[in-house]
Structure 1
């Protein structure tokens, strides 16, 4: 039902942002899968069943992203997800990614000892080919960790076409370089409710 047409993987290392170089560069990665939108061009009242079909795809893509980032599971401190829907689709087609995308990353990390109590933040929009999306990211275990509030821009050249949808996963290895605006520190996470 969801035919994968292209996969674009992006990994970046941030070594410097004006102040002193960090002890370790921040690595951030995204994976954008361009798929055929099976609901394009019409209104389909019942679409929730499609999430089940997307779950194994999410698991596979999460593993591919982590492999591309080439870091241990325990190094992942931030995550996020998103969707760009082609013009013949609607926002709700992007919302299908909430469970398959979010839980895929959580399952991958939790199986390897990384607590992931925080909800996976998300953004979505309907757009033309090459539309960019700022995908939000937060700490994997506590949404109130202010140092990890971040976003990463994702754009697939030429996609999505009108009958396509781009499903996106994002991960990072830490806080913003030189984060210094206070708030809950990652060392103080209680991890009970996904917030603090």
Structure 2
């Protein structure tokens, strides 16, 4: 059921965003896995068995991304996930990534209390996917409301799905619009 064509990992090293240089660059990365969509071109009522089959892939992708960001789970502050379904598929096929992608990152990072934000869409080959990102322990940490654009030039083909994960080692450079700061996380409920 899982036929991978390619895995692409990208990492940005953000040194500043128009303000003074940061003391340490923020690393922001994404992994994209392109695979055949076994449901392309037809409506299939029972698609959830694929969610279980994707769980090992979630772990592989999360591990590759963590390694690309230095390998230390304690340095990861924020995360997100998304999927881009080729034109012969359905939006719901992308939703199959919710459990395998999200839980793989949460397990790998240890304490990760916040829901993993997500984006799913259907699009043509070369389309971009804006993966939302927020703090891994408290969704209301405003400095970490961010995103990363994922695109693979030759994917997804009409009969493929691109599944993506994203992680960062910090929030937006020069964040200064208030709200809950990461140092203010107190409820440990995934929100505040």
TM-score, normalization: structure 1?
0.96
The 2-side partners of 1:50 and 1:20 are apart by: 47
Deviates more, 1:122-131 or 1:184-193: 184-193
The 1-side partners of 2:188 and 2:18 are apart by: 36
The 2-side partners of 1:47 and 1:12 are apart by: 35
5+ residue gaps, structure 2, are none
- Residue aligning to 2:131: 135
Contact 1:62-1:104 within 8 A present in 2 as well? yes
- Residue aligning to 1:164: 160
Kindly report the root-mean-square deviation, in angstroms, between the aligned alpha carbons of the 2 structures.
Answer: 0.8
Q: Pick from 105, 116, 120: which aligns with 1:120?
A: 116
Residue 32 in structure 1 maps to residue 32 in structure 2: yes
The 2-side partners of 1:193 and 1:16 are apart by: 31
Aligned residues: 192
Deviates more, 1:67-76 or 1:38-47: 67-76
Question: Aligned with 1:97: secondary structure?
Answer: helix
The 2-side partners of 1:116 and 1:192 are apart by: 10
The 2-side partners of 1:193 and 1:72 are apart by: 23
The 1-side partners of 2:86 and 2:7 are apart by: 16
TM-score, normalization: structure 2?
0.98
Cα displacement string for residues 10-69 of structure 1 (whole angstroms, at most 9, x for unaligned residues) = 001011211111111110000000000011010000111111100011011110111111
Q: Pick from 144, 151, 157: which aligns with 2:147?
A: 151
Cα displacement string for residues 77-135 of structure 1 (whole angstroms, at most 9, x for unaligned residues) = 0000000000000000000000000000000011xxxx211000000110000000110
- Residue aligning to 1:107: 107
- Residue aligning to 2:185: 189
Where do residues 49-64 of structure 1 align in structure 2 (5 Å cutoff)?
49-64=49-64
Contact 1:117-1:191 within 8 A present in 2 as well? no
The 2-side partners of 1:153 and 1:191 are apart by: 31
- Residue aligning to 1:14: 14
